[in-house]
């Protein structure tokens, strides 16, 4: 018989989190985040920078191009989108060019 006195709550495993820069917000409720990864080259040992794009869900459309954001892995929301926006870490301070 199963031991019911030990009511241990199983914790869900930690979800992956990444921090990156928003490079596009032209879709509805979706942003594209470029995440930077630095690693030594396997053969030459020089530190190289690799980039990867992640499609993330932005429910309130609060992230703008150039913002530094934190995204978290989640269930697949569409064919390409399986990350969601957690927070905007740093706002883009560059002024947008004014069309005259």
Residues 35-90: tens digit of each pLDDT:
999 999 999 999 999 999 999 999 999 999 999 999 999 999 999 999 999 999 99
Q: How many independent structural domains does the chain possess?
A: 1
Q: What is the domain range of residue 68?
A: 21-90
pLDDT for res 13:
76
Q: How buried is residue 99: exposed, middle or buried, by Cβ count under 10 Å (0-12/13-18/19+)?
A: exposed
What pLDDT was estimated at residue 25? 95
Candidates 21, 22, 20; CA nearest to 30 is: 22
The pLDDT assigned to 38 comes to 97
The verdict on residue 12 lying in a domain is no
48: CATH: 2.40.50.140
> Do the Cβ atoms of 30 and 87 come closer than 8 Å?
no
pLDDT at residue 11 above 80?
A: no
Among 65, 93, 75, 82, smallest CA distance to 18 is for 82
Q: Residue 2: inside a domain, yes or no?
A: no
Q: What is the pLDDT of residue 3?
A: 59
Residue 86, in any domain of the structure: yes
Structure-block tokens of residue 32? 């594209």
Distance CA 10, CA 35 (A): 31
pLDDT for residue 7 is more than 80: no
């Amino acid at each position: 018989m199963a031991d019911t006195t030990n009511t241990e709550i199983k914790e869900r495993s930690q979800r992956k989190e990444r921090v990156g820069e928003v490079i596009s917000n032209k879709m509805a409720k979706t942003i594209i985040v470029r995440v930077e990864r630095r690693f030594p080259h396997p053969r030459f040992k020089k530190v190289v920078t690799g980039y990867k794009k992640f499609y993330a869900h932005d429910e309130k459309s609060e992230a703008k191009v150039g913002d530094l954001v934190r995204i978290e892995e989640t269930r697949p929301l569409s064919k390409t989108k399986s990350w969601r926006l957690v927070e905007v870490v740093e706002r883009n301070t560059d002024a947008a060019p004014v069309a005259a």
